[in-house]
Amino acid sequence: MMKTWQAGKRLLPLTATLGLILAGCGREDLSVLRPQGPAAESSFDLMKLAITIMIVVLLIVFSIAAYVLIRFRRKPGQREIPEQVEGNFKLEVLWTVIPLILVVVLAVPTVKAVFAAGNDHSDDKNAIKVKVTGHQYWWEFEYTDYGVKTAQDLVIPAGKDIAFELSTADVLHSFWVPSLAGKMDTNPDGTINRFSFSAPNEGVYRGKCAELCGPSHGFMEFKVKSVSDAEFEQWLASMKSPAVLPEDPELAKKFRSACLTCHAVGDQGVAMGPNLTGLGSRESVAGILLNDDTGVDGAPILDNLKTWLHDPQSVKPGNRMPDPKKDLGLTDEEIDGIAEYLAGYTLD
């Protein structure tokens, strides 16, 4: 056992260097290699340890291989028979025991981390409870303690533990925010999962669905917005404030009959499709059309809404929303009107 720890200690500087190198990889809001919270941190620490051990193993194997292949090539005219070695007990024990020690070095922290990750904070009074439901192809977030439902953008207070309850409304999905935590599947009733993570720093993080769930699996993205406590309280309050409907009464009527039969805004409508309350403040339209006025990562929200509403199938193939024009009979003007209304529906 002593040996094990010494081996572990000797790996430390290498591990640290490795961490620095890997941290250069990928976007801060997306990469596993740039963890932004304790859960992702714990996975990353294990990864660094594992990669270090594995690089040592690879170096040994590669060096022996290189040496053997250079030193023991058959030379021209070499005819004598090499000595037929049956084996070597000591060597064989050596390369059984060393891997075993390496496995123990990795297994001990693994088991510790497994049980640490098992703490789902489901009965922690200070944790924010969020019920996550996967749908083909969007995410629903319900704040059970506050009676608030939203979609696509998960707003959380920075630093607080979030206790998730994960389930699905249809097929299996997997809830994954790489820079904050590992993923967990959303299963149907009977096998519902719970887990927890927190985001100490304020910011927006990218989340993805990681289990094949149909054609638009790759487009089932979402965002995690970590905000200050005050902002979070304010957000909750404005989510609960009465719904804002289009000012034009004709358009409002259309919006009610065409959209609110599946969607909800504030206290109105049906909670079948994604909740639209405060859509103008969201990070994306339909999870995949990123709202970015600078045009670097996406387009202005109004453009995105128009792209989406004029042909949802071309944006997210296989999604369940009826086509506003073909199926719901909305005119181009009405669609644009609704897009403008939704783009302007912001939370203060």
Rule CB under 8 A: choose which of 36, 216, 275, 304 binds other proteins: 216
Closest CA to 193 of 266, 87, 117: 117
Rule CB under 8 A: choose which of 23, 159, 185, 248 binds other proteins: 185
Taking the complex as a whole, the smallest distance from the CB of residue 12 to other proteins amounts, in Å, to 18
Nearer of residues 152 and 275 to other proteins, judged by Cβ? 152
Rule CB under 8 A: choose which of 8, 178, 246, 278 binds other proteins: 178
Q: What's the distance, CA 194 to chain centroid?
A: 15
254 vs 256: CA distance, rounded Å: 5
Residues 316-345 that bind other proteins (CB under 8 A): 317-318
Considering only 141-149, 211-219, 260-268, 334-342, which stretch makes contact with other proteins by CB under 8 A? 211-219
Taking the complex as a whole, the smallest distance from the CB of residue 120 to other proteins amounts, in Å, to 10
Nearer of residues 53 and 260 to other proteins, judged by Cβ? 53
Peptide bond into 143 cis (omega under 30): no
Taking the complex as a whole, the smallest distance from the CB of residue 153 to other proteins amounts, in Å, to 16
Structure tokens at 344: 């302007």
**For the chain, what's the residue count?**
348
Residues 105-144 that bind other proteins (CB under 8 A): 106-107, 110-111, 113-118, 136
Structure tokens at 18: 């490795």
73 vs 53: CA distance, rounded Å: 30
Question: What are the angstrom distances between the C-alpha of 315 and each of 264, 288, 309?
Answer: 22, 8, 9
Rule CB under 8 A: choose which of 103, 204, 237, 270 binds other proteins: 103
Rule CB under 8 A: choose which of 162, 213, 302, 335 binds other proteins: 213
Considering only 152-160, 214-222, 253-261, 302-310, which stretch makes contact with other proteins by CB under 8 A? 214-222
Considering only 127-135, 188-196, 255-263, 330-338, which stretch makes contact with other proteins by CB under 8 A? 188-196
Place of tokens 């929200």: 301
In sequence order, the 6+-apart residues with CB closer than 8 A to the CB of 252 are 245, 246
Structure tokens at 61: 């194997």
Rule CB under 8 A: choose which of 4, 6, 191, 257 binds other proteins: 191
HEC readout, 195-260? EEECCCCCEEEEEEECCCCCHHHHHCCEEEEEECHHHHHHHHHHHHCCCCCCCCHHHHHHHHHHHC
Taking the complex as a whole, the smallest distance from the CB of residue 8 to other proteins amounts, in Å, to 15
Rule CB under 8 A: choose which of 172, 243, 252, 347 binds other proteins: 172
Residues 252-271 that bind other proteins (CB under 8 A): none
203 vs 224: CA distance, rounded Å: 8
Residues 11-70 that bind other proteins (CB under 8 A): 22, 25-27, 30-33, 40, 42-44, 46-47, 50-51, 53-54, 57-58, 61-62, 64-65, 68-69
Structure tokens at 107: 């297994």
Query: How many binding residues for other proteins (CB under 8 A)?
Result: 96
Rule CB under 8 A: choose which of 82, 242, 249, 295 binds other proteins: 82
Taking the complex as a whole, the smallest distance from the CB of residue 334 to other proteins amounts, in Å, to 28
218 vs 38: CA distance, rounded Å: 27
Nearer of residues 186 and 226 to other proteins, judged by Cβ? 186
Question: What are the angstrom distances between the C-alpha of 341 and each of 133, 255, 272, 337?
Answer: 27, 10, 21, 6
Taking the complex as a whole, the smallest distance from the CB of residue 255 to other proteins amounts, in Å, to 29
By CB under 8 A, residue 286 contacts other proteins: no
Backbone angles phi, psi at 249, to 5 degrees: -60, -35
